[in-house]
């Protein structure tokens, strides 16, 4: 069996590793010069940084397992902490190291900046969602879901709205409540305390998976074709031709907008949402009190402390920020952080097509195509989740396992 994997993001990497580990002759095609796709290291003014801040959860089991498989140690590469949502307006919710679900109940009841009545109403609401298995009768927007549950107070603004934006990269006004409920199911609703943990990368993204995976794949005999954008894909009953080269089958693991050029039979248009990262370098002694800070009132929605005075400010989803110049964004964020003109260096990375918009009832492509010799992978094919690393990894492994099962 000789398999082609097209697209070397986290989905394609997962597929290629799975196939190679099973002894399959695997070729991974990646248009870029490095693996990683939308979660990769980039060079900015001589610094190795990320194309965007990536926050993982303890619930990302397949991702963590894949990292271990290629020799990357999550315990060393992540700063792992119990979930804490803290903002610069006085709100704070911290989960203690108690077993689940006590950790969530305690965290909610001890939250700072929220009245006891709202806490109790929310606890009852969350318990109801859990008892219904986090399944909504019909999908709606997160805003409508929260409205109908009476979630209109402090917790909405300081907890649910920022969590939704962080997880779905889609504002509550048009984000899917069901996808948000799925994220809550596997994090705050999980019976495992560790699933709620925040995993903050200690190293650039390339070192978490793409680079160790590239080394592992080559050491185990896989072929890496970096810098090769596949131009043609033909499938028939006997073989799959990738740029004219014959394979037994292929896994197409590109983002949807790139898939259409190769596989027009499934060219459903997908709305996308941007993400910008505004890097601000303060003097080395500068640090946030907790490495993840929410800015509920301003343009920056989350700020990640990357150590030694470097902050990565995240602007998720469409918004007025898109019209601002890089310098204006950097200035506005320094003001929001209470550090006007404090940064000694700044740089903005704009990912215009960061993720699909996680809208209610969004049609997701089937990962099986009419041809058994062609399967799809990628975050958008993992219908249970919004665009996440974990969805990407699971989709890649699923496609590979399906081919292996014959
Ligand atoms: C700024 C930003 C922040 C994010 N934050 C988070 C976060 O905090 N947590 C989280 O879980 N997720 C986050 N995400 C989402 C996450 O990065 C994606 O869900 C995930 O990386 C998608 O992986 P993928 O393999 O499905 O697709 P991609 O990463 O898009 O990979 C597809 C690959 O295919 C390649 N390709 C395309 N066409 C061809 C072709 N013709 N031939 C060969 N190669 C081709 C592309 O170059 C690309 O490398 C974020 C994304 C961005 C952009």
Structure confidence by residue, pLDDT tens digits, 233-262 = 999 999 999 999 999 999 999 998 898 889
CB 42 within 8 A of CB 51: yes
The whole-number average pLDDT for the span 46-67 is 97
Distance CA(299)–CA(406), nearest Å, equals 50
Task: Determine the pLDDT at residue 270.
Answer: 75
Q: Is the pLDDT of residue 269 over 60?
A: no
Question: Same CATH topology for 2-75+203-270+361-404 and 272-356?
Answer: no
CB 39 within 8 A of CB 52: yes
* Beta carbon of 386 within 6 Å of any ligand 1 atom: no
CB 111 within 8 A of CB 96: no
CB 15 within 8 A of CB 400: yes
Q: Which helix (H) or strand (E) segment is 272 a member of?
A: strand 272-281
Domain boundary assignment for the chain? 2-75+203-270+361-404, 83-196, 272-356
Best residue for ligand 1 mutational test, from 39, 353, 390 (most atoms within 8 Å of Cβ): 39
What fold characterizes domain 2-75+203-270+361-404?
FAD/NAD(P)-binding domain (3.50.50)
272-356: CATH number: 3.90.660.20
The whole-number average pLDDT for the span 49-54 is 97
Cα of 8 from ligand 1 centre, angstroms: 9
Which residue's alpha carbon is at the smallest distance from atom 33 of ligand 1? 7
Task: Determine the pLDDT at residue 297.
Answer: 74
Distance CA(329)–CA(337), nearest Å, equals 12
Task: Determine the pLDDT at residue 98.
Answer: 95
- HEC letters along 138-158: CCCEHHHHHHHCCCCCHHHHH
Structure confidence at residue 173 as a pLDDT band (50, 70, 90)? very high
Give me 135's structure tokens: 């399944």
Per-residue model confidence as pLDDT tens digits over 308-346:
999 999 999 999 999 999 999 999 999 999 998 899 999
Distance CA(19)–CA(53), nearest Å, equals 29
Task: Determine the pLDDT at residue 296.
Answer: 81
* Beta carbon of 403 within 6 Å of any ligand 1 atom: no
β pairing state of 2-6 and 374-376: unpaired
Q: Is the pLDDT of residue 199 over 60?
A: yes
CB 389 within 8 A of CB 355: no
Is pTM beyond 0.75 here?
A: yes
Per-residue model confidence as pLDDT tens digits over 213-232:
999 999 999 999 999 999 99
Query: Cβ–Cβ contacts within 10 Å for residue 358, how many?
Result: 25
Q: Is the pLDDT of residue 265 over 80?
A: no
Cα of 205 from ligand 1 centre, angstroms: 12
Q: Which atom of ligand 1 is the closest one to the Cα of 392?
A: 26
Residue 92, classed as helix, strand or coil, is: strand
């Amino acid at each position: 069996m000789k398999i082609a994997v097209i697209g070397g993001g986290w989905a394609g990497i997962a597929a290629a590793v799975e196939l190679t580990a099973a002894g399959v002759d695997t070729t991974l095609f990646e248009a870029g010069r490095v693996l990683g796709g939308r979660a990769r290291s980039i060079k900015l003014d001589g610094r190795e940084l990320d194309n965007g801040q990536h926050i993982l959860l303890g619930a990302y089991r397949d991702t963590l397992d894949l990292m271990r498989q290629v020799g990357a140690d999550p315990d060393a590469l992540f700063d792992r902490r119990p979930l804490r949502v803290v903002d610069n307006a006085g709100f704070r919710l911290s989960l203690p190291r108690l077993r689940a679900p006590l950790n969530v109940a305690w965290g909610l009841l001890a939250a700072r900046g929220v009245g006891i009545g709202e806490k109790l109403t929310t606890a009852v609401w969350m318990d109801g969602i859990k008892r219904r298995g986090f399944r909504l009768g019909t999908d709606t927007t997160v805003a409508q879901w929260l409205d109908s549950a009476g979630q209109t107070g402090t917790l909405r603004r300081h907890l649910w709205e920022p969590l939704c934006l962080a997880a779905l990269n889609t504002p509550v006004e048009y984000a899917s409540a069901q996808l948000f409920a799925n994220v809550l199911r596997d994090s705050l609703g999980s019976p495992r305390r560790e699933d709620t943990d925040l995993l903050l990368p200690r190293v650039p993204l390339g070192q978490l998976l793409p680079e160790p995976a590239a080394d592992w794949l080559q050491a185990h005999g896989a072929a890496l074709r970096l810098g090769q954008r596949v131009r043609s894909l033909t499938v028939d009953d006997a073989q799959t031709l990738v740029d004219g080269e014959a394979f037994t089958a292929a896994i197409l693991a590109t983002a949807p907008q790139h898939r259409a050029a190769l596989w027009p039979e499934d060219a459903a248009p997908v709305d996308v949402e941007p993400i910008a990262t505004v890097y601000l370098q303060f003097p080395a002694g500068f640090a946030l009190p907790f490495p993840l800070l929410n800015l509920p009132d301003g343009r920056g929605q989350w700020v990640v402390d990357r150590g030694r005075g470097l902050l990565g400010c995240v602007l998720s989803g469409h918004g007025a920020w898109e019209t601002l110049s890089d310098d204006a964004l950097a200035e506005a964020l320094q003001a929001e952080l209470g550090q006007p003109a404090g940064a000694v260096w700044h740089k903005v990375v704009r990912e215009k097509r960061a993720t699909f918009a996680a809208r209610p009832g969004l049609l997701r492509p089937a990962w099986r195509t009419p041809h058994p010799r062609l399967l799809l992978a990628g975050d958008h094919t993992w219908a249970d989740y919004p665009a996440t690393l974990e969805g990407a990894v699971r989709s890649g492994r699923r496609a590979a396992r399906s081919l292996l099962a014959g």
